[in-house]
Amino acid sequence: MCMFCVGAAEQHSALIPTLAPGASSFPYHRATLRLSEKFILLLILSAFITLCFGAFFFLPDNSKHKRFDLGLEHMLIPHIDSSKEGRLSGGPVIHGQGLHDDLRSKIRADHERVLEEAKEKLRKSREQLRAEIQTEKNKVAEQLKVKDGAGKPLPPVPMPKLVGINDGDPGDPEVKEKRDKIREMMKHAWDSYRQYGWGHNELKPLSKKGHSTNIFGNSQMGATIVDALDTLYIMGLHSEFKEGQEWIQQNLNFSVNAEVSVFEVNIRFIGGLLAAYYLSGQEVFKVKAVQLAEKLLPAFNTPTGIPWAMVNLKSGVGRNWGWASAGSSILAEFGTLHMEFVHLSYLTGNPAYFQKVIHIRKLLAKMDRPNGLYPNYLNPRTGRWGQHHTSVGGLGDSFYEYLLKAWLMSDKTDTEARRTYDDAIEAIERHLIRKSNGGLTFIGEWKNGHLERKMGHLTCFAGGMFALGADGSPNDKAGHYLQLGAEIAHTCHESYDRTVLKLGPEAFKFDSGLEAVAVRQNEKYYILRPEVIETYWYMWRFTHDPKYRQWGWEAAQAIDKHCRVSGGFSGIKDVYSSTPTYDDVQQSFFLAETLKYLYLLFSSDDLLPLDNWVFNTEAHPLPVLRLGNITLPGSSAVQ
Ligand code: DMJ
């Protein structure tokens, strides 16, 4: 009964802050209690307690009815051992009147304590009560999480051999100075985000506040923190890394009502968390990556298994972008999940992830391809291609990249992926790659039966991809692909060099006497993208031709000169204008990719060697899985 009294008093006070101000008719719910009201209230409370006290003695003895017959005695009254009548645990056996006296004094003490607690509660302000209740709620939520198994450790798996995860000192003091400058730029980008945008997805460096776009829904998931972690780690910015880790531990929560891009969340968040896990060995990153991946899985619930472009993290409802041809999913989006999902199956022992991505590959393999090319649009309901538009830039790019990287990441055992990559690249070379009148090699876009002689900044990543895929290419064409990579790197460098600010435009033409320059106003922007620098870095690793370091340094200086503002780094609206106007966005990929590739360009090759690491499309390094005789969970089930 006394337990009931305590419960009742607590329940009343617990109600107070949850009611809207003025919504309650119960007078002591108001913060402005008058003294006389308090007094009356105390009187009522003590009368009630006295009544309970009396009832204990005058109501019939129910002890024989065995009140706690659910085996809960220990939990409810742990200090009484019911198996031995009258024995207080650890104390002497007490009989008859002795037991009654003891209980009576205990009950009296309990009542006094309750009265004190009630008085204490009435003395507290509404805010204090609200804070206390919130703390209680948090505790319960944490306990529930543990009960759900969310906090359960994942099964241990052998850690792949991790080679070259620190230092990379280039030796040469001049190169080191450049590398230090890139590190300083990273510090400025991070510190600014830390100061003005912390916890938001991105930063507005001129407005000095947080920023987000529709790819992250209306969430505040700290995209910049997750995306930047591994760059901080390899640059040796350890206290910044720790700050990021703490934020993730305490705040990164995926049960939010936000409709996010499956692709972006995969490459930036899952890729970023997995890389941070492998580099640092901190379990929290792995656990968060797996929790998030679970939230993406409902996106695959379509008639074909081709995922929706977007999914609501809370409801699991998916849909496609309104602008995509005929309700289609996008090739570069559903085709850029393989690396992360294979690692998820490896780390969890759960075949579901692997099965989802291998199903996509099998489905694509069965489809007809116009001219051997993959269109960018595929309808997830019908399994039919949408508009016949093929691109190695936006909408198509990382699909090809992930075929090659699936092979590399499997220690070159996934030969199906390699073959698919080789076939795709052969068709691309035949139909999309041309030389301009001025001798620049470019990759155009195929649109409904004709070639558009335009190349995007995004397409410039392909130089690095060709170089990376050179070794292992069919018919001993390694030299050819390395050369193709070098030509693309040269063209993309020209696109930078032919601007006023020495920064590349979003898209550039090879038409009507124009060579590697943007024509339309809305293609003249530079938003801190990495692709050109990414290609310089791969070319540097494979050739050690000093021009790549030179070109990288030119780009770094131009970024520092034109994009740096006091609140971080901003994109530029027109790279052909000498008076730059800013777009006021510090993209998370600037920290994840652009600065990382620059740093690696001025490091020695033993930092993240390419024989041991494969970079996802957001530049997050994942180790090669040398599985030997081990089969990935689910791989034998899907043939
Ligand atoms: C990055 O998020 C990734 O590189 C992606 O594959 C495409 N583009 C952006 C950066 O430009």
Q: Give every CB contact of residue 298 below 8 A, 6+ residues apart in sequence.
A: 311, 316, 317, 318
Give the pLDDT of residue 111: 74
pTM beyond cutoff 0.85: no
Q: Is 174 a catalytic residue?
A: no
Dihedral sign, Cα of residue 500, residue 503, residue 507, residue 510: positive
β 507-509/613-615 pair status: unpaired
DSSP letter assigned to residue 71: S
Ligand 1 center to 75 CA (angstroms): 55
Active-site residue among 414, 531, 574, 583? 531
Q: Is 180 a catalytic residue?
A: no
Active-site residue among 259, 264, 534, 574? 264
Ligand 1 center to 154 CA (angstroms): 30
Residues with CB under 6 A from ligand 1: 398, 458, 529-530, 589, 593, 617-618
Q: Is 593 a catalytic residue?
A: no
Q: Indicate which residue's Cα is closest to atom 8 of ligand 1.
A: 458
Atom of ligand 1 nearest to the CA of 457: 11
How far is the C-alpha of 404 from the C-alpha of 401, rounded, in Å?
A: 5
Give the pLDDT of residue 306: 98
Q: What are phi and psi of 80, to 5 degrees?
A: -115, 125
Give the pLDDT of residue 33: 41
Instruction: Read off the tokens for 470.
Output: 């050179």
Atom of ligand 1 nearest to the CA of 332: 6
Give the pLDDT of residue 480: 98
Give the pLDDT of residue 2: 31
pLDDT along the chain (639 residues), means of 10: 30 28 30 51 67 49 31 25 31 43 71 70 63 56 47 74 92 98 99 98 98 95 98 98 98 97 98 98 97 98 98 98 95 98 96 98 98 98 97 98 98 97 98 98 95 98 99 95 99 98 98 95 98 99 98 99 98 97 98 99 98 98 82 57
Longest dimension (CA), the chain: 111
- Cα 591 versus chain centre, distance: 14
Instruction: Read off the tokens for 291.
Output: 């929790």
Ligand 1 center to 25 CA (angstroms): 57
594 is in an annotated binding site: no
How far is the C-alpha of 473 from the C-alpha of 424, rounded, in Å?
A: 12
Helix (H, G, I), strand (E, B) or coil at 201: coil
- Cα 103 versus chain centre, distance: 58
List Cα–Cα distances, 342 to 164, 171, 211, 270, 631, in angstroms: 22, 36, 32, 12, 11
Q: What are phi and psi of 63, to 5 degrees?
A: -60, -30
Phi-psi region of 237 (alpha: psi -120 to 50; beta: other; left: phi over 0): beta
Give the mutation target among 265, 531, 538 for probing the ligand 1 site: most ligand atoms within 8 A of CB: 531
The secondary structure element, H or E, covering residue 108 is: helix 96-123
Active-site residue among 397, 515, 574, 584? 397
How far is the C-alpha of 287 from the C-alpha of 536, rounded, in Å?
A: 34
Atom of ligand 1 nearest to the CA of 461: 4
Dihedral sign, Cα of residue 216, residue 217, residue 222, residue 224: positive
Which is nearest to 202 in space by CA: 217, 216, 223?
223
How far is the C-alpha of 541 from the C-alpha of 603, rounded, in Å?
A: 10
Q: Indicate which residue's Cα is closest to atom 3 of ligand 1.
A: 618
Ligand 1 center to 398 CA (angstroms): 9
Ligand 1 center to 397 CA (angstroms): 9
Q: Is the CB of residue 425 less than 8 Å from the CB of residue 417?
A: no
How far is the C-alpha of 562 from the C-alpha of 554, rounded, in Å?
A: 12
Q: Is 368 a catalytic residue?
A: no
